[in-house]
Structure formats: C-alpha cells, structure tokens
Amino acid sequence: MKHMAFGMTDTGRTKENNQDAVLLADNLGLYLVCDGVSQGAAGELASKTACDLVYQMLRDHREILDACRLSPTGPHVKSAMELIESAVQFACLEIYSAGRHDRSKAGMCTTLVMLVVMGQHAVAASVGDSRIYLLRQDKMFQLTEDHTLANQQVKNGRMSPDEARGSKAAATLTRAIGFQPSVQVDMLHFALVEADAILLCSDGLSQYLRRNDFPDLCQTLGPQQTPQALVELANARGGADNISAVVVQIEGQPSDAGKTVVQMVDTLKRCPLFSQMSYRELLQVMDAVTLRNFQTGERIISEAEQGDTMYVSLSGQVEVRKWGQRLAELPAGSSFGEMSLVGKAKRTADVFAVEPVRVMSIRRDDLFAMLRINSHLAVKFLWGMCRVLHQRLQATSEELSYALTSQDLQELADIAWPISETQEELPVADQPADPPRKDPLAP
C-alpha cells in the first residue's frame, strides 16, 4: 500500500518565533508534529530535538519496522510499538536532562504526535494537545486525546465540552515531552484503508478547525495543497499560535480488504457491548479481533464446552440450538457468546452456520489485556455489558409473562383446587391418632 505526505509550519499572526517542528521521513514512513513549550527559544529547541531523536532511534532500528511492514502479526506489531514508545521516552529523557543542566532551557518541553506507516498498518503516538485526525470515507475521526486539564475535567464529569473549550484549563498540559524524565504515551495501532487521509497538527490549527474543513479541502485541493490551505485558514480565523499541518494520503481505490476493515468497525459500533465507544476506541478493540470463516453446517460454538471467546457475525446467518432443537436464528451483525467474557461457565447452547459465515472473534484474555491499561475503555465496556444483561433479563421476563397466560394459570388452579378440597374435607376419624402415652408410674 503506497502513500504520500506533505507538510507545512507557520509562525502565525501573533507569535514572534515558531516553536513548532515538523518532520517527514518517507524512507521510514515516519511523520511528526511537535509543539514546543517555553518562555524563550528553548521551546523551539525542544520540538526540534524531539523530532531528531525519534528519527534517529527509528532509523537505527528500522529492521523492526520492516519486519512489521512485511508481516503485521501480533509479535511484530508489539515490537514496533515498543520501539516507537522507546524513541519517545528517549527524547523525553534527553530534553528533560538538557533543561536540568542549562538554566536557560529550564522547563522546556514539547507536545508530540507521530504516525508510523508500515504497509497496510500504522501506529499513532501522542503526548500533549497536538492532534491526529483520520479522514475515512468522507468522515473525520479524532484519533488522539488532548492531555489537558480541561479534557481531564470533562472525562471526570466536572466540565462540559463547551465549558472546556472556553476554559483556561484548555491550555494547561497534563503531559509533555521533557517535563519529567519519562511520560505516558498514548499508542494506537490500526489498519489502513485505501484513500484514507491522516492529518497531524498542532493546536494552532486544531483550535480553529471545523468538522468539514479537512474533508472539503482534501477533496477539492488534494493532499499536496491541503497543508498550506489549512495554515491559511487558521491564520484567517485568528492565527493566535504557531500553526503546523502534515497530511498523509493513502493511495488507491478501496479494495475488498479495505471494505472489510470498514465493515468490521461499523459492525462493532452497532454491537451493544461497544456502542458507547468512540472511533478511536473501536480501533483499539480491533486489535483484539480475529476474522474467521465458517462453512454451511459447521459448528461455531459447542454446548457444554468451556468458552473464552465471543463472536460478532459480519455476514451470513447462524442458528442457535439447545438439545438439538432450534432456539433462534441470528442475522448478520448479531453477537453471541458474550457471557464467556465475564466468566468461565460452560456454553449453554450450540451455534451452527446456516450458510457461509464470516465472524469476528474476540478472546477474553486479549480483550482484558487491553482493558487493564485503559480504565476509560474498561468503564465503557462494563456499561455495555450491563446493557446486554439488562436486555436479556427483560427478554426473559417477557417470555415468562407470555408463557403464564390466563389458561396456564387456570390449569394450575385446577390442579391445586382438588388438593385443597381434599385436605379440608378429610374426616376426623381418618386423621392419624396420637400414640397413647405410657404412665411413667405404671409397672
């Protein structure tokens, strides 16, 4: 899968110097935007240093990226993500140390957003409030989270998104490269689709960006001219900060594989377990998904087996059977086997493919490994599980109510009434008598 990238940075209308830095390294598939933070020129040094050091480490270990590019399996993806995080931590420690040893650089730090394209897959990394957006099928999704005090207040329910946008806390970073010896890095691995466009930008652009700006400019101008157009747009709307934009365009027309990726994410979004998740969070869940095919009549789940996997069907119908009797037929888009994610109980029914079926399978251990390191995602999953349990309990209650019709109740009454009458009319003589008591003084 081929791609091309274009970028631009600008001082803006109010700043005297540009503390943003951009890096486009097509040889590595590496693209960076950093926004330096400092009272003087040290912020400019911090952003440039972060770009240089990350590039050096990835260049020196590019065999790890190449291995992932050729074979994007679990171990190779894990190694690539560890390398990318190590590069960010290396830059963080170096910038922190420079600030500690030179008073003129004290407190310097920088935000960072990075995209590493490896064939049909990519890894995004972020620290701070610079952002990455994904444009896919004319829809724009934010792939990063702002590490600001305002956004933290929104997540905690103490501030609305509208209040956060106008708050001074929106400019207060909770994470930055170089502020401490190490930093928590948000990482996201995701599959690319032909015609995807990815935008990396500093907050000098994102604060002015409206939902349709990037899609419209990409469609009318193309990726080469879009960065400059975005910079001009930000300047026209105020230009209160340095402005940087990098656009990475994935070439080609959507293939069957690309359409399947889009279908998988859309199907997960419709599943009650994952319906509350953002597009970014759905892409995270996709890392735990395996696509499987079953032929007509093939068993997907066996009754009484120990289950550890849930399924979501992409295409084809499946049939649920209990003791050989058909209970239900589930269409494409249905999920089944969810209870295996919360316990190790045995399966309660068989599931067969009625026709050729494609399903997404999600193993409990893979999903929980992801939830352990993302508490916000775990809360959304737990809420989704509560909704599923509520729906099933409600359905069971309705089935029981329907079963207990007036006729059923009358039949129960007919059975119970003769018994009660017999007990009431039982003659006294027929009652079992108490055994005679022996006189304790008798010989």
Query: What is the domain-level CATH number for residue 130?
Result: 3.60.40.10
Residues 273 and 245 in one domain: no
Domain assignment of residue 171, given as a range: 3-254
- Whether the per-residue pLDDT at 443 is higher than 50: the answer is no
Structure confidence by residue, pLDDT tens digits, 390-422: 877 887 777 777 766 655 656 655 665 555 454
| 33 within 8 A of 51, measured Cβ to Cβ | no
Angle of helix 364-372 relative to helix 375-403, nearest 10 degrees? Answer: 130
Domain C-terminal end among 220, 254, 288: 254
Domain C-terminal end among 364, 380, 398: 398
Name the least confident of 50-59, 199-208, 272-281, 333-342: 333-342
DSSP per-residue letters across 159-214 = S-HHHHHTSGGGG-BS--BTSSSS---EEEEEE--TT-EEEEE-HHHHTT--TTHH
Q: How confident is the model at residue 317 (pLDDT cuts 50, 70, 90)?
A: very high
| 356 within 8 A of 332, measured Cβ to Cβ | no
Residues 344 and 232 in one domain: no
pLDDT at 324: 85
Structure confidence by residue, pLDDT tens digits, 13-33: 999 999 999 999 999 999 999
| 88 within 8 A of 112, measured Cβ to Cβ | yes
- Whether the model pTM is above 0.85: yes
Provide the number of structural domains found in the chain. 2
pLDDT at 442: 47
The residue-averaged pLDDT of 245-263 equals 93
Structure confidence by residue, pLDDT tens digits, 192-234: 999 999 999 999 999 999 999 999 999 999 999 999 999 999 9
pLDDT at 414: 63
Domain C-terminal end among 233, 254, 275: 254
| 299 within 8 A of 340, measured Cβ to Cβ | no
Q: Is residue 438 part of a domain?
A: no
pLDDT at 388: 80
Greater confidence, 277 or 406? 277
Q: How confident is the model at residue 341 (pLDDT cuts 50, 70, 90)?
A: confident
For residues 211 and 201, give the distance between their C-alpha atoms in angstroms, rounded to a whole number: 14
The residue-averaged pLDDT of 301-307 equals 89
Residues 204 and 69 in one domain: yes
Q: Is residue 405 part of a domain?
A: no
The residue-averaged pLDDT of 86-101 equals 96
Q: 166: which residues sit within 8 A by CB, 6+ positions away?
A: none
For residues 310 and 45, give the distance between their C-alpha atoms in angstroms, rounded to a whole number: 50
| 113 within 8 A of 126, measured Cβ to Cβ | yes
Q: 313: which residues sit within 8 A by CB, 6+ positions away?
A: 330, 331, 332, 333, 334, 335, 336, 357, 358, 359, 360
Would you give the DSSP letter of residue 304?
T
Q: Which long-range contacts (CB under 8 A, 24 or more apart) does 261-265 make?
A: 261/191, 261/193, 262/136, 262/137, 262/193, 263/314, 264/289, 264/291, 264/314, 264/360
Name the least confident of 75-79, 106-110, 184-188, 421-425: 421-425
| 121 within 8 A of 83, measured Cβ to Cβ | no
pLDDT at 84: 98
The residue-averaged pLDDT of 259-275 equals 93
Which bin fits 253, alpha (ψ -120 to 50), beta or left (φ > 0)? Answer: beta
Q: Within a 10 A sphere around the Cβ of 419, how many other Cβ atoms? A: 9
For residues 234 and 213, give the distance between their C-alpha atoms in angstroms, rounded to a whole number: 11
Q: How confident is the model at residue 307 (pLDDT cuts 50, 70, 90)?
A: confident
For residues 427 and 443, give the distance between their C-alpha atoms in angstroms, rounded to a whole number: 36
For residues 76 and 70, give the distance between their C-alpha atoms in angstroms, rounded to a whole number: 9
Q: Is residue 427 part of a domain?
A: no
Residues 227 and 376 in one domain: no
Name the least confident of 165-169, 297-301, 314-318, 424-428: 424-428
Residues 145 and 223 in one domain: yes
Q: How confident is the model at residue 440 (pLDDT cuts 50, 70, 90)?
A: very low
Residues in the chain: 443
pLDDT at 79: 97
Residue 332's domain is classified under what CATH number? 2.60.120.10
155's tokens? 């997540």
Average pLDDT, the chain: 89
Structure confidence by residue, pLDDT tens digits, 361-394: 999 999 888 888 888 888 888 888 888 888 778 8
